[in-house]
Amino acid sequence: MANEMTLKYGCNPNQKPSRIFMKDGGELPVRVLNGKPGYINFLDAFNSWQLVKELQAATGLPAAASFKHVSPAGAAVYVPLSDTLRKIYFVDDLELTPMASAYAAARGADRMSSYGDWAALSDTCDAATARLLAREVSDGVIAPGYTEEALEILRKKRKGGYNVVQIDPGYVPAPTEHKDVFGVTFEQGRNELKIDAGLLENLPTANKTLTEEAKRDLIVSLITLKYTQSNSVCYVKNGQAIGVGAGQQSRVHCTRLAGNKADNWYLRQCPKVLNLPFKEGIRRADRDNTIDVYIGDEYMDVLADGQWEQFFTEKPEAFTREERRAWLDTMSGVALGSDAFFPFGDNIERARKSGVAFIAQPGGSIRDDNVIATCDKYGIAMAFTGIRLFHH
């Protein structure tokens, strides 16, 4: 491993020179096994690696993340996928190992946002995971190791230019970190806060019951938020993020954005959507986009304009607002984390529409009583963690 690596350019082509290097003169903790990762690739790689490493340490399960623009589009720990999830993630034709299943879940919950992602794996990339990566639109992957078969598969992707990065899993960064902005150097201690079930013991709500699955999901949510650009909110179900709202100036907008993504994830599982009569040969990306249109109000325009013939063998019936709401009303057991306190009960009102039953947030708002009362109104169990997870 070298002390520095020259990059083609920074965030944009006009930003030169560009490099990554170790200020202390030590060796970089990464090796490029294939391709030529860029500045943004490495930002995604280092943030996503920290996320999956912490998820694996906290749960003992293989973990994966799908990153875009220095925030996770999705993250997951290994939980066996149902036949329905395998179908909506387009992996029902593959044999999946635990590592491959974790990445399928991380990428599958929000496939539109994950298009062209950077993947992170907590454990060695095996052939099954490589085959999944090879057929998706992805910029690169970081993992602590790769099997020979996996490397052979990945080196053929993108005409041999796919970015494959190996990180030293034993690397420990300096306890103090620096960032230059406008010629001024900022310094802070690294956020080494350990996130585990111990943060979920203060429950001010009437409902004080957290199942083991809920604790796991809340931990997944909080660790995901730790590496999501703030403000941020994350919905989790069955060990995977199903909706991430990142970088919004208003918390309720985070809650709405993430909630809409969670709704889309669940709507895709409705039999009416699962049984859409797609034509043979429609690409996965086109299916994703078409499904998003179908489960939204704009599908009425598609029907009127006759555009359905591009994708379907026959005209599907519209998925009405009433049908969508009736299906969403069966959604339950969702966990929700927030990187800072909820200032108003409107966040809870929106969250419960997406089946949220468990919440973890720092607490500390002058309106905590209103937030607690709103949770009690719907029987939601909420933990005050006492810790903020801003990431900038």
Q: Render pLDDT for 135-158 as a digit per residue (tens, 0 to 9).
A: 999 999 999 999 999 999 999 999
pLDDT higher than threshold 70 for residue 304: no
pLDDT higher than threshold 90 for residue 211: yes
pLDDT higher than threshold 70 for residue 186: yes
Confirm whether 343 is domain-assigned.
yes
Lowest-confidence segment of 115-129, 181-195, 242-256, 285-299 by average pLDDT: 285-299
- Span 75-106, pLDDT tens digits: 999 999 999 999 999 999 999 999 999 999 99
**Residue 57, Cα to own-chain centre: how many angstroms?**
18
Confirm whether 102 is domain-assigned.
yes
Q: Are residues 377 and 248 in the same domain?
A: yes
Q: Locate tokens 């950077």: which residue?
A: 118
Confirm whether 392 is domain-assigned.
no
Q: Are residues 309 and 262 in the same domain?
A: no
Q: How many CB atoms lie within 10 A of CB 188?
A: 9
Confirm whether 389 is domain-assigned.
no
Q: Are residues 236 and 362 in the same domain?
A: yes
Going by pLDDT thresholds of 50, 70 and 90, the confidence category of residue 300 is low
Confirm whether 119 is domain-assigned.
yes
Give the end of a domain, one of 149, 172, 195: 172
Q: Are residues 221 and 110 in the same domain?
A: no
CA atoms of 372 and 211, how far apart (whole Å): 19
Q: Is 360 left (phi over 0), alpha (psi -120 to 50) or beta?
A: beta
pLDDT higher than threshold 90 for residue 230: yes
Q: Are residues 217 and 144 in the same domain?
A: no
Q: What is the pLDDT of residue 296?
A: 85
Q: What is the pLDDT of residue 1?
A: 62
Q: What is the pLDDT of residue 178?
A: 94
Give the end of a domain, one of 119, 150, 172: 172
**Residue 89, Cα to own-chain centre: how many angstroms?**
14
Burial of 107 per CB tally in 10 Å (0-12, 13-18, 19+)? buried
Compute the Cα dihedral for 279, 66, 273, 302 and give only its sign.
negative
Q: What is the pLDDT of residue 311?
A: 87
Q: Are residues 353 and 236 in the same domain?
A: yes
Mean pLDDT of 270-283: 93
Question: Per the structure, how many domains does the chain have?
Answer: 3
Q: What is the pLDDT of residue 386?
A: 96
| pLDDT higher at 26 or 67 | 67
Q: Are residues 131 and 256 in the same domain?
A: no
232-237 and 138-143 strand pairing? unpaired
| Distance from the first to the final alpha carbon of the chain | 29
Q: What is the pLDDT of residue 303?
A: 62
Confirm whether 43 is domain-assigned.
yes
pLDDT higher than threshold 90 for residue 302: no
Q: Are residues 237 and 378 in the same domain?
A: yes
Confirm whether 379 is domain-assigned.
yes
Give the end of a domain, one of 119, 149, 172: 172
What are the residues facing 278 on neighbouring strands?
A: 312
DSSP 158: G
Q: Are residues 313 and 362 in the same domain?
A: no
3-state SS, residue 313: coil
CA atoms of 192 and 82, how far apart (whole Å): 35
CA atoms of 136 and 144, how far apart (whole Å): 21
Confirm whether 238 is domain-assigned.
yes
pLDDT higher than threshold 80 for residue 183: yes
Range of the structural domain that residue 24 is part of: 4-172
Going by pLDDT thresholds of 50, 70 and 90, the confidence category of residue 133 is very high
Q: Are residues 36 and 154 in the same domain?
A: yes
pLDDT higher than threshold 90 for residue 255: yes
Task: Copy the structure tokens of residue 386.
Answer: 């006492």
Going by pLDDT thresholds of 50, 70 and 90, the confidence category of residue 173 is very high
356-361 and 381-384 strand pairing? parallel
Phi, psi dihedral angles at 367 (to 5 degrees)? -110, 25
Task: Kindly report the CATH number assigned to the domain that includes residue 357.
Answer: 3.40.140.20
Q: Active-site positions?
A: 68-69, 231, 392
Q: Are residues 88 and 108 in the same domain?
A: yes
Phi, psi dihedral angles at 208 (to 5 degrees)? -115, 20
Q: Are residues 19 and 48 in the same domain?
A: yes
